[in-house]
Structures are given as structure tokens and as C-alpha cells.
Structure 1
Amino acid sequence: MKALVRGALCAAALWGGAALAQAADRPASERRMRSAETVDFQDAGRNQADTGIYAQLGGGLEGYTGQLAPEVTPGFSYGAALGYRPHAFFAVELGYSGGISDIDSRLGLLDDGEGGPDLVRNAGQAVVVGNFTDTRLQPYVLTGIGLDRYNVRNDARGAVRGFSDDTSGYVPAGAGLRYQVGKLITADARVNYNFLFDQDFAPGGRAPGALDGRYSAVLSLGGTY
């Protein structure tokens, strides 16, 4: 009888020791799993694109194509944009852009001695932006509607043959690559081609074709808030 009791006590002790060992191991294993899940979630968060209001400011180059290419030389372009991204794949944006270019001297420009650009452009546009990914590195495309204001300078009011101040509309079509450097800082590289409604600021007031437009390439810095 004593031998049976001793055997039962030994079995109970062995079983209890095994159970305690498993109980001791389980929290560590669960902690490791939770830690791994937390790291994966944090990594995913760091790679996720931010949504919300964004603003950016930049500069670059712009020029004209088709009939306007030999008449207006490429010049400096600059702009600013304010947008709202409700979803990682979609944004709406209001933008301002400007450009300064020279009119080819062979067209009869009479310099008034002050120098500077001959054609100054200011524009406003509203666009929709479609992103291809929801990560911090986002290629995107855009389109919308815009309005240009052209001012001819250094022309002694009409000395440039056929050029004049004018207001005209355009349709922007663009593509770009955006990268969110940190929580706030965003770098953006964008190229645009603008289909002009008319060319009344240029000699002859010609109706533009699909290949008569304006291109630009702009680098910008900004942030999402």
C-alpha cells in the first residue's frame, strides 16, 4: 500500500513539474509572438502613406511645343499646391504655377534696356490625383482644369510682333513620383503636359493642335499634416 502511495506521489510530482515548465515557457513564447506582431505592424505603419491635408512648393523648367516651340524659349517654372488626400489612392489639389520665358529675338523683340523675361505666365488649376500604391513611395497621375494669364513685357507696348497679353484655359495631364521622407516631409517630382485652349497671346491667334502645348518638370518639397 505504501509503495502504491509513493508511486502516485511520484507521478503527481512529475506531472506537476511538467505543467509548471509549460506554464513558465508559455508567457515567453507569447511575448515573442506579440513582439514580432508589434514590429511587423510598426514596420507596416512606417511604410504606409499618410492621408490628410498636404502642401508643397517647388521649381523647375517649362517650355512650349509645336508652333510655339521656335517662338518662345524654355524658361523657369515655379509653383505651389494645397491638397487633401482622404484616401491613400486619391487626392484633390488646388495649385498655382508661374513661368518666365524669353521670346525669340528673331521675331522682332525690341529690348527696352531693362532686360528680364519677355513672357510672364501665372496660372491656377484644380486637379484630381490618382496614386498607384498606398506606400510612402507613390507614383501617380493627375488631370483637371486650369486658367492661364499671359503678360508680355519689355516690348514697348507692341514692339514684339504679334504677342499680347491674354487669358486662356488649359487641361493639365501629368505624372509624378512622391516620397514621404518622414512624418511630415514630402519630396515630389512631377512632369506635366498642358493642352492649351488657344494661343491668342502668340502671333496670329492660332487654334492649337494636340501637339501645340506647354510642358513642365518641377521638383517640390512639402509636407502632410
Structure 2
Amino acid sequence: MKTIQQTLKELNTEEVIDYYFSRYPIKLFGDLNEKWDDKTVAECRKHGHDTVKGLIDKILSMEAKQNEKNHILFCSKCIQDRSCHDIEDYLVDMDELMNAKTVSEIPTYAYEYEKLEDTVGYFVADTTFTQNNLMDLVTSYLFESSFFGYKQENLEKERQLLNDAIEECEDTSKMRSFSTLEELYEDLGITPEEVYPEEEEKRSKYHDAVVEYNKYCMEMELERLKESILEGKRG
């Protein structure tokens, strides 16, 4: 299997940048302020292009750390709320995949809190669906890798905030409990909207169906990933 770094290197950079902005058109300008008031559309486009290209160039020139846990990125079909995008990517540990009794036991991992040098060595699955959707995989990787800045300039601060939040959650003295959802709304100062007679039942059925579909598709791709790894070892 090739790494995400190798995969990105073999794709056309300009096509990757165009596809990235077709999926994430406003992320780059999430901090819009007065410094953009006198900028032309062309200048904004160039800024966006150069920023993403800078991230790609950094990834391509970086020395990857050894992928000790044999992490693998792969794509799967999915249904996402508030999105017409029907492809999701996941990260799994190869050893956990190969040693699990069933693929339903396999955990997936997030990596937006990881440093670039620790992720550019992640493998990319050789499965057909993943290879047919490499643009989705690499642009999602770019998005996750730049979640806390295109130069990861806010990564350490966010890591500290995450650790602080975990410590606070583990402090039982700061925990609060609520008997009903109404009590929680009242505490938060939220006025709940009207609920139609069959709304909750239908919403629950919809979400259950989405979860079942996404889980089924992911497990199908995990089975195929496992098969491709076994075939590679036999070969």
C-alpha cells in the first residue's frame, strides 16, 4: 500500500486544490475581518490557492515518521446529515483489523489533533472504492490536517484545551445532572421548539436507518480491506 504522502504526490496538485475548494469553500475564510475589505475576488482566490498549495508542498517535502501502528485510511459510502456528499473516510489500525473476530469490533480514529509528520505516513487502502475516490480521501485528509490552522499554528493550544476539558470532565465535583430534557433546556436558557405528534418517532426511525446503512457500508469496506491485505501477504 502507498502512503497518503505518496498518493498525494501522484495526483495533480491543481486538480486537488480545485476539488478541495469544491468541498470546503468557506473554511479558509472562517476568520473574515476588516483585512479583507479592500481585497478583490482575484486576490482572495489567490490567497486561498496559495495557502492550500503551501500545505500540500509541506506534506510532499516532509520526512514521514514510521507508521508504527500501520494506520490505514479508507473510503466508504455513507449518508450524512445536511450534506449531499455520500463518501466518508475512516482511519483504522491494521493490527486491530487483522486480529478482530468480526469487523464490527474495529474502532476508527480521528487525527486532527496529530502533527503532520505523524500522519503523512498513513497507508491508503488498495480497495477498489477507495482507489476510485482518491480525491475525496486526500482532500478530507487536507481538511483534517489543517483543522487547527493550515500551518497547524493553533494545534498545541487546542491540544491543551482538549486535555483541560478531559480533566474537567473527570472532576466529579463539577458535574451536574438533570432529570429531564426540559430541566437541561431551562438551565441553558433554551426555549424548546414545538414537537409535532409523530416527529420524534419518525426522526428516530430516520436516524436509525442512516446509522444502520453507514455501519453496513463501512463494514463491507473493512471486509474488503482485510481481504486485500491478506492477498498482498500471500502475493
Structure exhibiting the larger radius of gyration computed from Cα positions: 1
What TM-score results when the alignment is normalised by the length of structure 2? 0.24
Q: Relative contact order (C-alpha < 8 Å, sep 6+): which is higher?
A: 2
Structure having the higher strand fraction is 1
Q: Which has the higher helix share?
A: 2
